Amino acid sequence: MKRKPTLRFILGDQLSREISSLRDADPARDMVLMAEVAEETVYVPHHPKKIAFLFSAMRHFALELRNEGFCVDYVTLADPANSGSFASELARAVSRHQAVSVVVTHPGEWRVLDAMQVWEQAAGVPVEIREDDRFVCPLPRFRRWAEGKRQLRMEFFYREMRRATGLLMEQDGEPVGGRWNFDTENRKPVPARLDMPPAFFVKPDAITQEVLALVGTRFAGNFGTLDGFDYAVTASDARRALAHFIAHSLPSFGDYQDAMRQGEDRLFHSMLSPYLNAGLLDPRAVCDAAEAAWRGGQVPLNAAEGFIRQILGWREYVRGLYWLKMPGYADTNRLGADRALPGIYWGGPTEMNCLRQCVDQTRRLAHAHHIQRLMVTGNFALLIGARPSEVEAWYLAVYIDAYEWVELPNVHGMILYADGGYLGSKPYAASGKYIDRMSDYCGRCHYDVRQTLGSKACPFNFLYWNFIIAKAPELRGNQRMAMTYASLNRMDDMKQAAIQRQAAEFLADLPVEY
């Protein structure tokens, strides 16, 4: 008689053949469960490209497992029997297959982990939650590193990860090139004449087209377009995207990492975050590929180091911090920000060219690169004092790579300083001068980036100084803000008052509805 199966439940961002929940799975005995559920599609109004990417990648993954001989029970969103949540779909599947137990890998979001606590009760069988070991740094190791520290700093964590992995290290334990970090070489604006790397794209196959039709109908009201969907949806295409990046973009990644250029959405960025976060690419393998390109003389050290730092450093750091501080990380609001998120973020009209370009790119691609997220949309949200919960929900909804473990520390900590400096040592507040230096947005803007006051003044300028004045009680004592506050001290009172007046008028006129 055939033994009753164990259900291996694979969530939408667990599409790795090496995932812990599948590790000892027996195709002859076990059953794999995957489900497109309404609950996951509505907890924020996801960009349609994000939903389409995940559903198509899930369906392709199911097919690959079936080709390997696994029995995969895949519940589509359109299935009339679909009950709409992870818990209820699991319960239905346990009863359908008479399963004796469930194995699942630890989810990427606290919200889901919390919901998992009732799964055993809902399903009536034991549920084993296994570690998600697709990260370089296991969570207990991160906890040990963070223990006793009042503030965490990515740079020190990153050095520890370099030592632990041996990536970009000499035999004697020193970093290659004699330095840990080549960031100072990675701040060049893009020169007017520079060849851009060719784009990597994948033509939608029949599975993706079916998903696009479904998502187009069900999520037509969400912010974002499905037009031009060209993301990879399988691990093999994601590996091709990696190879394409290493060959064409990585050589200049370091130099232009912080640059922005109108009409060039991707510049030299990898666009690999959706694949890394859904499990189609392994972070260690991506770092190894970048290191090998440097050791093989194909890319300069500042490029390889800059890229590896993002994955081995930032990505691992924010994940460790998220699980260290959850639940509760999102509850702080150190700067007391309480403004409703303006309609500009959902495509409402604005004469600020930089914001318009970044929001429009987000609408088209469900992607914007780091400096656009940090120094344009993020900086603006910080300067206007937008409510952290609304900013967080926006970032979680609109980006194809957004899951709370990575979105929340970047938004709550890095851009909004809502955690009071636990993640980063100071707010990334900047005036229009920074945007002008790193982009060509200002030359095409209604506003004048050289002006701080008056009808043509760049809003980033007066908002920046308004923020610096208003937040002096919290920030003046911060050593890293000393130069900023020394400049403020040199500004006369009349100018400070005029700045505050212009900022107040601008903020009073910011439309929320769109």
> Closest approach of Cβ 487 to ligand FAD, in Å?
25
**How many C-beta neighbours within 10 Å does residue 339 have?**
15
Instruction: Name the binder of 354 from ligand FAD, ligand SF4, ligand DLZ, none, CB < 5-8 A by kind.
Output: ligand SF4
Among 57, 458, 475, 481, binds ligand SF4 (CB under 6 A): 458
Among 436, 438, 464, 502, binds ligand SF4 (CB under 6 A): 436
Candidates 103, 324, 366, 99; CA nearest to 219 is 366
12 binds ligand DLZ (CB under 6 A): yes
Task: Compare residues 109 and 237 and give the one whose CB is closer to ligand DLZ.
Answer: 109
Residues facing 203 on adjacent strands: none
Instruction: Name the binder of 399 from ligand DLZ, ligand SF4, ligand FAD, none, CB < 5-8 A by kind.
Output: ligand FAD
311 binds ligand FAD (CB under 6 A): yes
Among 378, 388, 413, 459, binds ligand SF4 (CB under 6 A): 459
> Closest approach of Cβ 379 to ligand SF4, in Å?
9
Interface residues for ligand DLZ in 90-129 (CB under 6 A)?
Answer: 107-109, 112
Among 6, 7, 13, 412, binds ligand DLZ (CB under 6 A): 13
H-state helical runs in 333-471 = 353-365, 370-371, 379-384, 388-398, 404-408, 432-438, 459-470
The DSSP call for residue 343 is G
499 binds ligand DLZ (CB under 6 A): no
Task: Compare residues 201 and 506 and give the one whose CB is closer to ligand SF4.
Answer: 506
447 binds ligand SF4 (CB under 6 A): yes
414 binds ligand FAD (CB under 6 A): yes
460 binds ligand SF4 (CB under 6 A): yes
What character string, x for contact with ligand SF4 (CB under 6 A) and - otherwise, covers 282-321? Answer: ----------------------------------------
Start-to-end CA span in the chain (Å): 62
Task: Compare residues 104 and 276 and give the one whose CB is closer to ligand FAD.
Answer: 276
Instruction: Name the binder of 49 from ligand SF4, ligand DLZ, ligand FAD, none, CB < 5-8 A by kind.
Output: none
The DSSP call for residue 107 is -
The DSSP call for residue 410 is I
Candidates 367, 354, 364, 379; CA nearest to 445 is 354
What character string, x for contact with ligand FAD (CB under 6 A) and - otherwise, covers 253-282? Answer: ----------------xxxxx--xx-----
Task: Compare residues 48 and 432 and give the one whose CB is closer to ligand SF4.
Answer: 432
How many amino acids of this chain bind ligand DLZ (CB under 6 A)? 16
37 binds ligand DLZ (CB under 6 A): yes
State how far the Cα of 272 lies from the Cα of 254, in Å rounded to an integer.
16
Instruction: Name the binder of 401 from ligand DLZ, ligand FAD, ligand SF4, none, CB < 5-8 A by kind.
Output: ligand FAD
User: Which helix (H) or strand (E) is 31 found in, with range?
Assistant: strand 31-35
Write the DSSP string, 465-485: HHHHHHTHHHHTT-GGGHHHH
304 in Cβ contact with 294 (< 8 Å): yes
Buried b (16+ CB within 10 A) or exposed e, 430-457: bbbebbbebbbbbeebebebeebeeeeb
State how far the Cα of 113 lies from the Cα of 409, in Å rounded to an integer.
18
Buried b (16+ CB within 10 A) or exposed e, 235-249: bebbbebbebbbebb
34 in Cβ contact with 75 (< 8 Å): yes
Among 125, 312, 402, 418, binds ligand FAD (CB under 6 A): 402
Contacts of 131 (CB under 8 A, 6+ apart): 20, 105, 106, 138, 139
435 binds ligand SF4 (CB under 6 A): yes
286 in Cβ contact with 316 (< 8 Å): no
Task: Note the residues at the interface with ligand SF4 (CB under 6 A).
Answer: 352-354, 432, 435-436, 441-442, 445, 447, 449, 458-460
Task: Note the residues at the interface with ligand FAD (CB under 6 A).
Answer: 269-273, 276-277, 307, 310-311, 314-315, 318, 369-370, 373-374, 378, 395, 399, 401-402, 406-407, 410-411, 414-415
